[in-house]
Amino acid sequence: MSHTQSNRVFASIMGAAFLCAFVLPTKWTEGVGVQLASVFTPISGPTRWLARGIYDRFKHGPEASDEYTGADVAEMKNLIFAQQTRIDELEKLDAELQRLGNIRDQCVRVDVSGADTSGQDALILSGSYLSGLTDGQPALYDGGIAGRVVVGLAGARVQLLSDKGMVVGARFVRLARGKDGRLVDYNVPSPPPAVEGIGDGRMEVPMLTVAEAHDVHVGDSVVLSDPNWPAGVQGWSIGTVTWIGMRPQRDFAVIVVEPAGNLLKTLRAVEVYRGS
C-alpha cells in the first residue's frame, strides 16, 4: 500500500470513529466500535502499557504507593553495599596514611599498574617523571619499604629490595618488654648487616659470620640503616628474618629476609617519599 493510500484509509477510519462517537445513535454504533477498537489495539495496547509503567515509576505525592517491589529493594541493597565498600576503602586508605606518621605530607600515592614481566622483582607504576617521579625516591607500603623508584623514557617502576643486585644497609631489631613492662624495639647485637636482594621476593644477609649472627633469631625485624637513603625513612622496616642457616664454608651464616607478603602480587599502590 502506498503512502497516499494508507493516509486515505486512516482518514476514513478516523471519520467513521467520529461519526460513531458524536453523530450516530449508540445502538447503531456498538458493533462498529468493537471493530474499530480491534484496529487500534496493536498501537494503543503497547502505548497504554508503556504510559502506565512510566507513571508508576515516577509518580509522587499523596497517591504514590509506599510499597517497594523486590527490584526496588535489591537496588537499594546494592547502593548501600557500594557505599559501604567505598567507606571501607577510605578507612583502609586513612589507616595506611596514618602509618606514614610525620612524613605523610611528604608522600604521594602512585598506583601500581602491574608486575614487571622482564623477570626482575619490580613493579610498573602509572606515573612518570611528568608527574614528579625521580630516580631513587623510596617507595613505601603499609609493611615498610618496598624499594626505590626508577624513571625511564617509557615510564617509571619500583625496583623492589628483593631484586637481584639491590643492596641496602640495615640493622636487626627485636620487640621485647622493657623494665616498665612496655613493648619496645631494641637493636640485636651484631655488626651492621648489608641486605642483598636475591630475587623471587626474598633478600639475604651474605656477609655475617656464624659468630656475628649468633644473637639473630628468626622473627627479628630488619630495618633500614643506610646513609644513602633519606633521613625520613631511616628505621623503616625492610622485612623479617624467616630462616637462618650455614653456608657450605661453615664460617658464614645464611640469613633470609622477606617482606610482609608477596609484593609482586599484592601491591596495588605505593607511597612515594619526596622528602630528603
Q: What is the pLDDT along the chain (276 residues), one digit of tens a residue?
A: 554 555 565 556 666 665 655 556 655 555 555 454 555 555 555 556 555 665 565 555 555 455 667 777 778 778 777 777 777 665 665 665 566 788 989 999 999 999 998 999 999 999 888 888 999 999 999 889 999 999 987 789 999 999 999 999 999 999 887 778 787 888 999 999 999 999 999 999 988 999 999 999 999 999 999 999 999 999 999 999 999 999 887 789 999 999 999 999 999 999 999 987
Distances (CA, A) of 222 to 152, 203, 217, 250: 30, 11, 11, 23
Could you tell me which of 162, 143, 154, 163 has the C-alpha nearest to residue 267?
A: 143
Residue corresponding to grid cell 504507593 = 65
Q: What is the pLDDT of residue 166?
A: 97
Per-residue pLDDT at 96: 59
Residue 259: per-residue pLDDT: 97
> Position of cell 484496529?
39
pLDDT in the model for residue 244: 96
Contact 138, 100 (CB under 8 A): no
Q: What number of residues does the chain have?
A: 276
